[in-house]
Amino acid sequence: MISRRFPIAVLMLTIVAVVVALTMAGCERRTIDSKIARRVFLIGIDGLDWDRVARMVDEGRLPNLAGLIDEGSSGVLHSVYPYLSPCIWTSIATGKIEEKHAIHGFLVDRGLTSNPTPTSSDMREARAFWQILSDEGYSVGVTGWLVTWPAEIVNGYMVSSRISTLLRDVGDPTGNDAQLEKMRRGIHPEGMLDDLLALKIMHTDLTDDDVSRFLGTDAIPDLEEARLRRDDIARFYATDLTSLRMADHLMESVPTELAVLYLRGLDLFCHAFWKYMEPDVWPDSISPQMLDTFGPVIEQYYEVADSMVGELLEHRGPETVVIICSDHGFAGHQGYPGFDGEFAVGISMHREDGVIIMSGPGVRRNGRIEDASILDVTPTLLSLFDLPVGRDMDGRVLTEAMEADFLDAHPVTWVESHERGEGGDGKEPISSTVDEEVLERLRSLGYIE
């Protein structure tokens, strides 16, 4: 079984801490105790569906999410049509609708490039919570968030989502100066790259035992389709494991007041394996062998995602508020509002009902969050740090999730805007070493042709 911690990574933690400390030394930094004694963990899980979470919690299959729900507040997090992940995660990060933040999809072509290119962070026209908190002196650590290539300068660290994909596939890039230089663009501070390389898990590192935990049979059928699906499991799982490992070690070695991790794997698993879970709504016949083997994969990954949350909670102190959120829910059939076809592919498999869970000091126990939107995450996050909400934001603070005593001590305040007129309009998307990998994955998921 693959181990998530390499001894070499532990030896290098001091180097990571020194690099980040030097980067943060020039910033006017507010300590945790100087204004509001809390930390926040924000964990984004792509495609986490409220109905499936609620059922699996009732079945006792998601103990870590169940614990957070019991001790905190939770509910449906409504998404925004057309449920495109880059747009939604940017709305989550800014509290603003797509028309304001200007991230319109996976690809962009403003006539400045010969071919559409994956959207990059310089295209965003609204400031994200990591920029706002950094400017206020709070320390932030962001791992894997979508549309963060190139990595932005923050009061802490940032690792782009493209880094875990690249580390999963490229092997050891040592000696390839051009590739290393491009990879460094996805990391702030750039000097952390050498340390993060020791943390990667490649899909070829995963054994049959690692993959078998997701399967309904003891052996993979001797079919080409089965071998391809086996490789999908290894690739998707390795991507999240690499992101988790990086976040795990960075949170341990470089504690920040806000720590953020985005996990993509569940969305990928749902796209690739939904037909084996619901073959009756799929237009093509599927062999019984494939159904028996791959039918359980999606819900098994829900359990794995829950265990990843549990690992992150090991870093949680008594002052920590934990927020779990997703960009949308998931359904592959016509059993949900707004879908009028026989079966779904690509983004039409996404649905409105995502997940919001909050737990920690100041959060109501056994609370119900009503009518929450993906636009409410950033306003709520700012309020937890005693920062004003921008009046030009489109979301609200989820006050129903907070205890009355906390709101009395830390009332919601407002400012006209956190913007500085530094929008990305007219800028050309910045390419990376994984652009072709990104494009191929989007095609395989049905997002683009």
Phi, psi (degrees; rounded to nearest 5) at 265? -55, -40
The CA radius of gyration of the chain, in Å to the nearest whole number, is 21
The string of pLDDT tens digits covering residues 289-332 is 999 999 999 999 999 999 999 999 999 999 999 999 999 999 87
Asked if residue 11 is part of any domain, the answer here is: no
pLDDT of residue 34: 41
Give me the phi and psi of 96, to 5 degrees please: -130, 155
| Residue 218 covered by a domain | yes
Comparing 334 with 44, which gets the higher pLDDT? 44
Q: What residue numbers bound the domain in which 190 lies?
A: 36-444
pLDDT band at 82 (very low <50, low <70, confident <90, very high): confident
On whether residue 291 sits in a domain, the answer given is: yes
Is residue 19 assigned to a domain?
A: no
Residues 6+ apart with CB under 8 A from 361: 38, 318, 319, 320, 321, 406
- What is residue 22's predicted lDDT score, i.e. its pLDDT? 43
434, containing H or E segment: none
Contacts of 104 (CB under 8 A, 6+ apart): 84, 87, 98, 119
DSSP, residue by residue, 13-63 = HHHHHHHHHHHHHTS-PPPTTTS---EEEEEEETT--HHHHHHHHHTT--H
Which CATH number do you get for residue 366? Answer: 3.40.720.10
Closest to 319 (Cα-Cα) out of 80, 13, 31: 31
| Of 281, 168, 271, the residue nearest 229 (C-alpha) | 271
Average pLDDT along the chain: 84
**In this structure, is residue 5 part of a structural domain?**
no
Q: Report if residue 13 sits inside a domain.
A: no
The set of residues, in sequence order, having a beta carbon less than 8 Å from that of 164 and lying 6+ positions away, is 144, 200, 239, 240, 242, 243, 246
Rounded CA gap, 66 and 64, in Å? 5
Quote the CA–CA distance of 128 and 53 in Å, as a whole number: 28
20: in domain: no
Model confidence at 84: pLDDT above 50: yes
Query: Could you give the number of structural domains in the chain?
Result: 1
Q: Is residue 272 part of a domain?
A: yes
Please write the tens of the pLDDT for every residue from 183-194.
Answer: 888 999 988 988
pLDDT over 70 (residue 431): no
Q: Could you tell me if 130 and 95 are in contact, meaning their C-beta atoms sit under 8 angstroms apart?
A: no
